[in-house]
Structure 1
Amino acid sequence: MSARRSSSRWAAVARTPVGACAGLLLLAVVLLAVLAPLLWGDRASVVDTDAIQQAPSHAHLLGTDSLGRDIFYRVLVATRLSLLLAVTATLIGVTLGIVLGAAPSVLPRRAGRLVTSLVNIAVAFPGLLLALFFAVIFGVGTTGAVLAIGLAMAPAFARLAQTLAAGVAGKDFVAAARVAGVGRMRLLVRHILPNIGEPLAVNAAIGAGSALLAFAGLSFLGLGVQAPDYDWGRLLGEGLDRISLTPAPAMAPCVAVIVTGLAFNLLGESAAAVLGVRTLSPRIGPRRPPPPSEPEVMADAQPAGDPVLAVENLRVSFPGPSGWTTPVRGVSFSVQPGEAVGVVGESGSGKSLTALAVSLLVEPPAHVTADRLEFAGTRLLETPERELRGLLGTSLSLVFQDPMSSFNPVRSVGRQLAEVAEQHQQLTRRAAFARAVDRLRAVRVPAPQLRARQYPYEFSGGMRQRAMIGMGLMGDPRLIIADEPTTALDAAVQWQVLQLLAEVRAARDTAILLISHDVGVVARTCDRILVMYAGRIVEDLPAAGLHTAARHPYTRALLAAVPDLDTDRSRPLAVIPGRPPEPERMPVGCAFAPRCPRADDHCRRTDPGLVAERDGHRVACWHPVQEQEGAEPVRESTTGGTA
């Protein structure tokens, strides 16, 4: 969302009845805080010994205090100090809360966990109790009270900031920024914090009302503002001594606190209702030692040469209630320079998770292991993150499935592309933006100079996808990983995106790893195809022989489930019966056996390895389809299945 759109949303808050009333009331309080000391400051300070502790009268609307000073004017003048102290304490609490909440994203893992634990402990204590505790530590007075209330508010804001930041950190545009080599602090300031600003602002408005009440309470107890200064809490304490004789001196500051606090709270609540802001409870995953290594599924050697990407026995595991779950189990493949490799399979087969793992985007509590994970001659799992940042930021490009979520919604497209050049090519801000415009022009985005200054929501789906490819071309990519780049695009735009990838590959000798559900798209675009099922590669074959030389029953079933112009429309569409196994309930033996018409007892007992055949063809099956057998029949199902 752009700054203009954000402003329009806050304007919508002001147009609601509650929001308008709260806004006008708060505006009146602010004007009073500015003007009251200028207009009535002298009258509030005049000591009149002839009018000591008078009752309300025409001359003194709320009476006078023990020195004959007019209480009405003192309540008006106290607005400035009361409001200023409440806002200052809120700013301290919000700032410190954001720092503590964002710390786990910047600090090393153990230090981040320590900060999170301290915040969790602090949140368990009531805010007013913490304020009293800190007030005793910092001492009596205005400064001590401001610090006490600010520190007491910080844990709640830290918890909120931590929860919101964790939600944004999982977005594709954050992953793209990490691949681009953006540092942790810049990632936090440029990409995460701007996207959690609205809920923090809403909660800050509500928190200001609470801070006003807390500060009045401390001053009432004698721990806050000290003479000769005064705020509403101090005036309330002075008026309470005479409440049995005349309630006006005590009621006036009490009403001022209630009205102002109500204005803050109503403004925050109406903003929350209009903006749809809600606070989520953080989820802390179980932390256990890495799972014991399972026996490796042996695979024959990969093609000779120096691959741009080499993966051997890649495993990705996640902790769960009943132990570790491994959705990617022993994946091995390589990608040569200039080669296009397609990865196909049903949802949940591990395609995207494999791509994220080789891009180092799978974070704890997940556990990634591999006998070899090498990109451009660098072993990724053994090289410090600081050294990898420049390599991955310039030589590896990711094109995600949803281009809308892949861009930061609060930054213009051109600035997001330029960030790569600023980080890794040391270009000035203007030169980096000019290069971004040039890259948008290279991927055929119309009017690139204008489009570079627009926000992602102003782009169509096809243009966003082209802009994502343009972001990858800001460096000199040796490998482009395209994860479902044509999903939700119409056929014409799909073809344009695929043609653009092919042109980039031909012009730069860039390797491409294309992940897709569409077998037809992969067959037309790639040189080689990897077929994944249940977290493993079950077949690796040249794309030219996909329809004639596929030997795994699962590959044959995928092909049969894709309709074409010759499909008999009078018959139900072919589907693969049953469903893929859940990663935490992986069967013994071949994972495809429960759905395979060729499976026998041996298949259900022993998992086949990926065995190399002629012409670089590899298949993991005990009973592969022979070429002379033709297409593998696929059973039809009226109860549903996965095509």
Structure 2
Amino acid sequence: MLRTPAAIAGAALVTLMLVLAVIGPPIWGEAAARVDAGAILQGSSAAHPLGTDNLGRDLLARVLVASRYSLQLAIAAALIGAIAGIVLGALPSVLPLRAGRLVTGTVNALVAFPGLLLAMFTAVVAGLGARGAVLGIGAAIAPGFARLTQTLAASVARADYVAAARMLRVPRRRILARHVLPNIAEPLILNLTQALGGALLGLAGMSFLGLGVQPPDYDWGRLLFDGFGRIYIHPEVALGPAAAIALAGIGFNLLGDALARHAARTPAPSRAAEPRPRPVPDTEPEPGAVLDAAGLTVTFPGGVTPVREVSLTVRPGEIVGLVGESGSGKSLTAAAVGGLVPYPGTVHHERLRLCGEDMAGLSRERLGTSLAMVFQDPMASLNPALKIGGQLAEVAVVHQNATRDEARRRAVDRLGHVGLPEPGKQAGRHPHQLSGGMRQRAVIAMGLMGNPKLIIADEPTTALDVTVQRQILRLLRDVVDESGAGALFISHDIAVVGELCDRVVVMYAGRVVEELPVDRLAKDAAHPYTQALIASLPDMDTDRSLPLASIPGRQPAPAEVGFGCAFAPRCPLATARCTTDRPPLEPHGHDHRVACWEVS
């Protein structure tokens, strides 16, 4: 975590404040309380570096001693605000609709109310002093926590396991404590660190205004209030508490930011954690390849690695099929290539090149015209509020600096190129006015608005009927043949891949287990998983009196993958070695690679 100057500074400042809170009162407590009638209201001197107060007490000692009380009050206020906010924000996810709306409205009203006024109002109602100030700052912090909790809990509340718990009539408080809060705890804990800094500053402000700590007690804000009247004569008397407040607040905020960034990009260790990817790629760069990826790995916090050291190439004019069961990492591999892995996922690779250039160095304009992506659901790619032609034209305007008229003409031309009837008329329609096949053609046309060298098609025909599927597949083949671009076609249907693609890459549990030309798929497939996929595909000669062939067991979740071959528990050829050692992806004849210990 401590890899940046800001993180180091934040950790150092917080550590310093905590150390002062522990050792301050025992070491400097006597000096802070000692009254000296001969040193009243003095300025800076060798004996008193920050001067003295109206009773001759040393201000430096009082600032150091006040560290403990100031931090205690800040921690109490932050915890009160966090607990109240979390409870308030999580309630709408488990309450009935009307009650949930009432709580949501309350949260919205509190968020809109100025925090300082809310703190002052609460402090006045609760009574002047440290207790009122702590409650006031806690009340000011709570709406922010409530809004964050409400946003996080809303996504969890729609999960199937929450719906199942409701169906089973699990008590609401148990749903909240068992299903909702544990799944949103991490960002809330990180936010608490930053809230400590805000609470510290807020409490100092309350004491400075006379609404917080009252004599004879004192915190940094109270010391600042006492010294403010002398700031033009002896500014150092106010400098000490002001510096302590500022440094502590900055420290907690810097540390909170560092913790948040660290949690977002570093997965926690898991029992099935594997060694880091090899520093040297296991494949050499292929000259002329449109896509050249080696060691592509995608990780998420918690030790979840759904894509593991994937290496693949796509040549010009070639369609490479990426197949495997649902959850094998196909779509996430495509997202990693396109830079679309959702937060908080992180992508690591040993080599990732587009047309020989490192993709990390490509500009947005170059990437936007060289790479086209076609997704399974075209409605997820098209804005329902905008017309088709305008959305296609935006590509040329943003990435090619075309005028609106030029972009419009090119959009109509591309729509006609993909076989849409009356392309000028279709360009003036909204997505909901087109059929599913027409929308998918429009998305392909959007990708062709530039001059793509690589087309990534992520199950583009899954939601379409068989007739339209064939049309889209034929269109994709024609586009590749005509443009010379390479295509990565993702599907779980090995029969479709066998008809469309030139080469097939088989994935299982996030890894490539076999790669071979598609014309040798039926006879020369060597990996047991590939053979099982082919065997489970019925044809006209399949005996309908027998059950359909299937693969026993299930694919392991990303967090369950161990060191050996992930397919071993389902493989009839597995040996003891398969469960302990991961087989590398090695050549097995011309243009054929297999990852299996039992393939000779």
Q: TM-score range by the shorter chain?
A: 0.5 to 0.7
Residue 346 of structure 1: aligned partner: 325
Question: In the TM superposition, what is the alpha-carbon distance from 1:378 to its structure 2 partner?
Answer: 2.1
Question: In the TM superposition, what is the alpha-carbon distance from 1:163 to its structure 2 partner?
Answer: 5.1
Matched-pair contact (CA < 8 Å) for 1:299–1:612: no
Residue 591 of structure 2: aligned partner: 616
RMSD: 3.3
Residue 208 of structure 1: aligned partner: none
TM-score normalized with structure 2 length: 0.57
Q: 3-state DSSP class of the match of 2:504?
A: strand
Distance in 2, matches of 1:299 and 1:520, equals 31
Counterpart amino acid of residue 443 in structure 1 = V
Question: In the TM superposition, what is the alpha-carbon distance from 1:297 to its structure 2 partner?
Answer: 10
Distance in 2, matches of 1:126 and 1:298, equals 52
* Shift in CA distance, 472/128, structure 1 to aligned 2, threshold 3 Å: closer
Query: 1:545-584, CA deviations, whole angstroms, 9 ceiling, x for partnerless residues?
Result: 0001100000000001111111111111111111000111
Counterpart amino acid of residue 538 in structure 1 = V
Residue 315 of structure 2: aligned partner: 336
Residue 306 of structure 1: aligned partner: 288
Counterpart amino acid of residue 379 in structure 1 = D
* Shift in CA distance, 129/314, structure 1 to aligned 2, threshold 3 Å: closer
Give unpaired runs (5+ residues) of structure 2.
1-106, 122-139, 156-259, 269-273
State yes or no: 1:373 paired with 2:352: yes
Residue 441 of structure 2: aligned partner: 466
From 454, 477, 486, the counterpart of 1:502: 477
Matched-pair contact (CA < 8 Å) for 1:299–1:610: no
Q: 3-state DSSP class of the match of 1:531?
A: strand
Matched-pair contact (CA < 8 Å) for 1:297–1:610: no
TM-score normalized with structure 1 length: 0.53
Question: In the TM superposition, what is the alpha-carbon distance from 1:491 to its structure 2 partner?
Answer: 1.5
* Shift in CA distance, 134/298, structure 1 to aligned 2, threshold 3 Å: closer
* Shift in CA distance, 299/614, structure 1 to aligned 2, threshold 3 Å: farther
Distance in 1, matches of 2:553 and 2:517, equals 28
Matched-pair contact (CA < 8 Å) for 1:302–1:334: no
Q: 3-state DSSP class of the match of 1:334?
A: strand
Distance in 1, matches of 2:458 and 2:549, equals 26
From 525, 529, 538, the counterpart of 1:550: 525
Counterpart amino acid of residue 405 in structure 1 = A
Q: 3-state DSSP class of the match of 2:540?
A: coil
Residue 576 of structure 1: aligned partner: 551
Question: In the TM superposition, what is the alpha-carbon distance from 1:319 to its structure 2 partner?
Answer: 0.3
Distance in 1, matches of 2:120 and 2:424, equals 56
Residue 277 of structure 1: aligned partner: none
Question: In the TM superposition, what is the alpha-carbon distance from 1:587 to its structure 2 partner?
Answer: 2.8
**Identity among equivalent pairs (%):** 53
Residue 531 of structure 1: aligned partner: 506
1:237-636, aligned counterparts within 5 Å?
286-287=263-264, 289=266, 294-296=276-278, 300-301=282-283, 304-320=286-302, 324-381=303-360, 383=361, 387-624=362-599
Question: In the TM superposition, what is the alpha-carbon distance from 1:305 to its structure 2 partner?
Answer: 2.3
Equivalent pairs counted in the alignment come to 366
Question: In the TM superposition, what is the alpha-carbon distance from 1:489 to its structure 2 partner?
Answer: 1.2
Question: In the TM superposition, what is the alpha-carbon distance from 1:310 to its structure 2 partner?
Answer: 0.7
Counterpart amino acid of residue 278 in structure 2 = E
Q: 3-state DSSP class of the match of 2:294?
A: strand
Query: 1:293-338, CA deviations, whole angstroms, 9 ceiling, x for partnerless residues?
Result: 6253987535842211111111100003xxx211101101111111
Distance in 2, matches of 1:289 and 1:124, equals 36
Distance in 2, matches of 1:375 and 1:423, equals 21
* Shift in CA distance, 415/311, structure 1 to aligned 2, threshold 3 Å: same
* Shift in CA distance, 158/501, structure 1 to aligned 2, threshold 3 Å: farther
Q: 3-state DSSP class of the match of 1:346?
A: coil
Counterpart amino acid of residue 321 in structure 2 = G
Query: 1:190-212, CA deviations, whole angstroms, 9 ceiling, x for partnerless residues?
Result: xxxxxxxxxxxxxxxxxxxxxxx
Query: 1:24-46, CA deviations, whole angstroms, 9 ceiling, x for partnerless residues?
Result: xxxxxxxxxxxxxxxxxxxxxxx
Matched-pair contact (CA < 8 Å) for 1:344–1:515: yes
Distance in 1, matches of 2:358 and 2:479, equals 26
* Shift in CA distance, 297/499, structure 1 to aligned 2, threshold 3 Å: farther
Distance in 1, matches of 2:145 and 2:381, equals 27
Question: In the TM superposition, what is the alpha-carbon distance from 1:433 to its structure 2 partner?
Answer: 1.4
